[in-house]
C-alpha cells in the first residue's frame, strides 16, 4: 500500500520569505513523487516530479523539492514566495510497480503582501 501525508492544512508566509510545504510518503518499493498546484476554480497543474537521480528537483514557477529517502520526505520549497503562489498544493506518490497515484489531502498556502 502507498500513502502520502501533508501534515499542515495551511501555511502562511509573507511575500519575499521562503516557502516550504511538507510531504511524507509511504511505499513498499522505490517511490515516484509529484507535486501539483491547484488555483481557485482550476484543475491541478503539474509542478515537478522525482523519479531517480539528483535528490533536488527543480520545477515550474521557481519551485523545487528535495527527496530525502531516510526521512521518506519530499518537501516543496520556494526561496522567495509571491502573492500569486497562494493556492492549494498536493503531494502525490506512486510505487515503482504501479501506475496509480496516491494524493495527500492538500496544503493551502497563503502568501500575504
Partner 1 sequence: ETGVTQTPRHLVMGMTNKKSLKCEQHLGHNAMYWYKQSAKKPLELMFVYNFKEQTENNSVPSRFSPECPNSSHLFLHLHTLQPEDSALYLCASSQRTSGLQETQYFGPGTRLLVL
The number of residues in the chain equals 113
Beta carbons within 8 Å of 52's beta carbon, 6+ residues apart: 30
Q: Is 105 in the site for partner 1 (CB under 8 A)?
A: yes
- Single out the residue of 70, 75, 85, 99 nearest to residue 5, CA to CA: 75
Q: Is 20 in the site for partner 1 (CB under 8 A)?
A: no
| Interface characters, 38-77, with partner 1 (x: CB under 8 A) | ---xxxxxx--x-x--------------------------
- CA–CA separation, 66 and 58 (whole Å): 9
Total number of residues binding partner 1 (CB under 8 A)?
26
Q: How far is the CB of 22 from partner 1 (least distance, A)?
A: 15
Q: How far is the CB of 96 from partner 1 (least distance, A)?
A: 6
DSSP 102: E
Q: Which residues bind partner 1 (CB under 8 A)?
A: 4, 9, 32, 34, 36, 41-46, 49, 51, 90, 94, 96-106
Amino acid at each position: 500500500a502507498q500513502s502520502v501525508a501533508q501534515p499542515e492544512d495551511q501555511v502562511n508566509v509573507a511575500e519575499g520569505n521562503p516557502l516550504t510545504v511538507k510531504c511524507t510518503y509511504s511505499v513498499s518499493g522505490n517511490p515516484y513523487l509529484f507535486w501539483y498546484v491547484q488555483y481557485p476554480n482550476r484543475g491541478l497543474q503539474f509542478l515537478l516530479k522525482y523519479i531517480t537521480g539528483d535528490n533536488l528537483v527543480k520545477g515550474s514557477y521557481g519551485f523545487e523539492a528535495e527527496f530525502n529517502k531516510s526521512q521518506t520526505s519530499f518537501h516543496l520549497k520556494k526561496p522567495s514566495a509571491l502573492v500569486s503562489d497562494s493556492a492549494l498544493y498536493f503531494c502525490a506518490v506512486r510505487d515503482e510497480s504501479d501506475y496509480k497515484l496516491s494524493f495527500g489531502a492538500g496544503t493551502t498556502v497563503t502568501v500575504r503582501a
